[in-house]
Amino acid sequence: MLKIKNLKANIEGKEILRGINLEIKPGEVHAIMGPNGSGKSTLASVLAGRDIFEVTEGTVEFNGKNILDMSPEDRSCEGIFLAFQYPVEIPGVSITNFIKAAVNSHRKYRGLDPMPPAEFLKLMKEKKALVEIESKLTNRSVNTGFSGGEKKKNEIFQMAMLEPKLAILDETDSGLDIDALRIVANGVNALKTKDNASLVITHYQRLLDYIVPDFVHVLYNGRIVRSGGKGLALELEEKGYDWIKE
Amino acid sequence: MAKKEDKIINELKDKEYEFGFVSDIDTEIIPKGLNEDVIRLISKKKEEPEFMLEYRLKAFRHWQKMEEPDWAHLNYKKPEFQEISYYAAPKQKPKLNNLDEVDPELLKTFDKLGIPLEEQKILSGVAVDAVIDSVSVHTSFKETLNERGIIFSSFSEAVKNHPELIKKYLSSVVPYNDNYYAALNSAVFSDGSFVYIPKGVKCPVELSTYFRINAANTGQFERTLIIADEGSYVSYLEGCTAPQRDENQLHAAVVEIITHENAEVKYSTVQNWYPGDAEGKGGIYNFVTKRGICKGNNSKISWTQVETGSAVTWKYPSTILKGDNSIAEFYSVAVTNNHQQADTGTKMIHLGKNTKSTIISKGISIGQSQNSYRGLVRVSKNAVNSRNFSQCDSLLIGDKCGAHTFPYIDVNNTSSIVEHEATTSKIAEDQIFYCNQRGLSTEDSVSLIVNGFAKEVLNKLPMEFAVEAQKLLAITLEGSVG
């Protein structure tokens, strides 16, 4: 599904990613761990197409297509979803209107007419139940005045609505209490099928108790320095990151 | 980051004026120029009574002694008043019984604008008094309104049929010598709308007038007079679009609103006159005087405006809160793009006790445009326990445009409270990326964010107008369609 080969990227001339290689197949959950500043969030942003980063080398293929030449919105419509570490506020735009615009933009990309309102409302209700968000929340402006937990739940709700093929969760666990963490993780797990995949970026092993990865990669200094199974996360938890830096 | 913003700005700037077409209607125009003979001719062509001619001449003589004001934050070439033709009337049969009798070219024009009269009459329950150039050509819903004693007609008809009301109320809020453009309007105004709601009557439909400027080089001087008698209510809508052309066109309208005891007038405008091309060539000069008076106790006037057009806008819908406990509101969205300039805002003059005013102004600047809010809140000595709340928010798109806020506050007693809040923000690159990541194009993202920014005001518009306003905002903001 996703094939990253020798990916190098920099921001304002500073190299952050120094040759990433990673392959993700349908149905798999991959976790990326690593210390602060190792390039985890940069990888997420580059995959989503944020243009403040410049890709200098390497290729990224998504379902056989080279996505590095695609606009961020086209990548989204191809099925890449990024749950942001810091979701931005959009004052005055309700979640309902926002996600309706997004859903219909995806449909347009696939040559479909906008979703009929009744069908849309039904879908919303279903997905809201899935991620256990309060009904009222979707009437509020996107992320405006939301608590940390509400912001992250909103991300998972949008993910549920857009049904991506690849979900990238960028430190979704940061700033969450244990209950919110459970809800978010349950949402992610409920959305899992044999055809989609997840890339979970996290600092802590804690999230991986809830979202169990098939593979764990350690990112350090812009490269994946170690890969393994779930056991690797536990090892990191125990030993910290220092030993991989050697 | 800079690259991305430039791209957005370029897309926005390239949006052409969608309604730029010229319809070929046979128009009767009097020669260019302005003097007493021209004024006599206008008055004669309109078959006006003597008092109207005297009023016009008085205003004209005063106007000749006045200087064009230049205190606004605007920069434009002053109009050549002798190069303007002051009267243009579509050549029509004098009376029309139904749409079939209307000039087909005119109907086509309305179709292009998406305002088929017949459909509007049936579907939306809006009574439409369509004004093309200066003379009213079509009036509908008259019977419904007649039954309740509501008068909704062209200004000329009102002069003929209700001279006593015209005599009593004309210039009672905006004196003929109020300002340069109001004086000019008083001298030469060609037509406009007149509304009278009798005592205790709630107007069951929203009254709507579509204005268009059509003939080249024809200044349009509209006059609107709305009177709500004791305990009455009316919602009045005004919307405009104009065809594209090279020479600047002058528009200097005057709107007067009077509310008596316990009466309420809700006045909504969507203004989309041709703003000029991307280089700032052409476009309408919109110098408007709009003022209302809450004359009776417990009366209310509410102004809502969405301003997207005109090359230069100079407009301050204002309210004099004379009656005790009277309420005034001003909700405004003003968008400027390319080289557009807008100096707009309101004046709230508190005279009565316990009077309350609210000002919500949202300015959006794009390209190299300049967008200014100018507002005055004056609380007189006798207006005890009065309140004002003002909020002025500016949104900048790109780094070549400007937003300015000029609040003037003058409070003359100690029991009143006046609050002013102002913010300036930019559409952030991370907001756009967030929307992009959800599958929205940059154009759609900007449109969504701007609509959100303006929501507080858009929500104040009547339903069918709100939809139109949202479309208009999207059109103004989008790069190219399709």
Query: Do the chains contact at B430 and A81, CB–CB below 8 Å?
Result: no
Domain ranges for chain B? 2-477
pLDDT at B16 over 60: no
pLDDT digits (tens, 9 = 90+) for B24-64: 555 667 778 889 998 998 898 888 999 999 999 999 999 99
Q: What is the 3-state secondary structure (H, E, C) of A94-117?
A: EHHHHHHHHHHHHHHHCCCCCCCH
Query: Do the chains contact at A52 and B451, CB–CB below 8 Å?
Result: no
Question: What's the pLDDT at B125?
Answer: 37
Task: With beta carbons under 8 A apart, name residues in chain A contacting B1.
Answer: 51-52
Question: What's the pLDDT at B258?
Answer: 98
Query: Do the chains contact at B437 and A92, CB–CB below 8 Å?
Result: no
Smallest CA–CA separation between B393 and chain A, in Å?
12
Question: What's the pLDDT at A23?
Answer: 97
Query: Do the chains contact at B439 and A109, CB–CB below 8 Å?
Result: yes
Confidence of residue B102 (pLDDT cuts 50, 70, 90): low
Confidence of residue B120 (pLDDT cuts 50, 70, 90): very low
Q: Please check whether residue B226 is in contact with residue B303, taking contact to mean a CB–CB distance below 8 angstroms.
A: no
Nearest CA-CA partner of A18 in A213, A172, A219? A219
The residue among B281 and A235 whose pLDDT is bigger is A235
pLDDT at B482 over 90: no
pLDDT digits (tens, 9 = 90+) for A128-180: 988 888 888 899 999 999 988 899 999 999 999 999 999 999 998 887 888 88
Confidence of residue B88 (pLDDT cuts 50, 70, 90): low
Whether B454 has its CB under 8 Å from any CB of chain A: the answer is yes
Query: Do the chains contact at B438 and A50, CB–CB below 8 Å?
Result: no
Question: What's the pLDDT at B124?
Answer: 35
Task: With beta carbons under 8 A apart, name residues in chain A contacting B467.
Answer: none
Count Cβ–Cβ pairs < 8 Å, chain A vs chain B. 79
What average pLDDT does chain B have?
A: 81
Query: Do the chains contact at B436 and A76, CB–CB below 8 Å?
Result: yes
Which whole number is the average pLDDT over B66-93? 75
Indicate which of A93, A112, A143, A169 best probes the interface with B, i.e. most B CBs within 10 Å of its own CB.
A93
pLDDT digits (tens, 9 = 90+) for A89-109: 999 999 999 999 999 999 999
Confidence of residue B126 (pLDDT cuts 50, 70, 90): very low
Whether B467 has its CB under 8 Å from any CB of chain A: the answer is no
Whether B444 has its CB under 8 Å from any CB of chain A: the answer is yes
The residue among B135 and A159 whose pLDDT is bigger is A159
Whether B455 has its CB under 8 Å from any CB of chain A: the answer is yes
pLDDT at B182 over 50: yes
* Strand stretches in B127-176, DSSP E: 127-132, 135-139, 151-154
Smallest CA–CA separation between B417 and chain A, in Å?
28
Q: Which CATH superfamily is domain A2-245 in?
A: P-loop containing nucleotide triphosphate hydrolases (3.40.50.300)
Residues paired with B358 in a beta bridge? B329, B389
Look at residue A90 and give its three-state secondary structure.
strand
Query: Do the chains contact at B440 and A101, CB–CB below 8 Å?
Result: yes
DSSP one-letter string for A13-80: TEEEEEEEEEEE-TT-EEEEE--TTSSHHHHHHHHHT-TTSEEEEEEEEETTEE-TTS-HHHHHHHTE
pLDDT at B244 over 60: no
Sheet holding B135-139, edge to edge: B135-139, B127-132, B207-212, B233-241, B264-272, B300-307, B327-336, B356-366, B387-397, B417-426
pTM of the model: 0.80
Domain ranges for chain A? 2-245
Whether A52 has its CB under 8 Å from any CB of chain B: the answer is yes
Question: What's the pLDDT at B382?
Answer: 96
Query: Do the chains contact at A162 and B439, CB–CB below 8 Å?
Result: yes
Whether A115 has its CB under 8 Å from any CB of chain B: the answer is no
Q: How far apart are CA B58 and CA B63, in angstroms?
A: 9
Question: Least CA distance to B482: which residue of chain A?
Answer: A108
Which whole number is the average pLDDT over B320-327? 98
Query: Do the chains contact at A90 and B448, CB–CB below 8 Å?
Result: yes
Confidence of residue B270 (pLDDT cuts 50, 70, 90): confident
Residues of chain B numbered 2-21 and touching chain A (CB < 8 Å): 3-4
Whether A81 has its CB under 8 Å from any CB of chain B: the answer is yes
Smallest CA–CA separation between B229 and chain A, in Å?
37
pLDDT at B216 over 60: no
What average pLDDT does chain A have?
A: 92
Question: Least CA distance to B436: which residue of chain A?
Answer: A73
| Candidate from A99, A109, A141 with C-beta closest to B452 | A141
Whether A99 has its CB under 8 Å from any CB of chain B: the answer is yes
| Candidate from B3, B433, B451 with C-beta closest to A72 | B433
pLDDT digits (tens, 9 = 90+) for B287-306: 899 999 999 999 999 999 98
| Candidate from A87, A141, A162 with C-beta closest to B434 | A87
Residue B107 burial (10 A CB sphere; 0-12, 13-18, 19+): middle
Question: What's the pLDDT at B210?
Answer: 52
Task: With beta carbons under 8 A apart, name residues in chain A contacting B428.
Answer: 88
Residue A179 burial (10 A CB sphere; 0-12, 13-18, 19+): exposed
Question: What's the pLDDT at B202?
Answer: 95
The residue among A81 and B339 whose pLDDT is bigger is A81
Question: What's the pLDDT at B121?
Answer: 37
Query: Do the chains contact at B455 and A92, CB–CB below 8 Å?
Result: yes
pLDDT digits (tens, 9 = 90+) for B141-155: 666 788 899 998 888
Residues of chain A numbered 132-171 and touching chain B (CB < 8 Å): 141, 158, 162
Indicate which of B431, B437, B460, B478 best probes the interface with A, i.e. most A CBs within 10 Å of its own CB.
B437
Give the tokens for residue B35. 């003097």
- Judged by average pLDDT, the poorest of A213-227, B112-126, B369-383 is B112-126
Task: With beta carbons under 8 A apart, name residues in chain B contacting A87.
Answer: 434
Question: Least CA distance to B433: which residue of chain A?
Answer: A50
Nearest CA-CA partner of B306 in B280, B277, B344? B344
Confidence of residue B116 (pLDDT cuts 50, 70, 90): very low
Question: What's the pLDDT at B89?
Answer: 62
Question: Least CA distance to B446: which residue of chain A?
Answer: A90
Q: How far apart are CA B324 and CA B301, in angstroms?
A: 13
Question: What's the pLDDT at B90?
Answer: 53
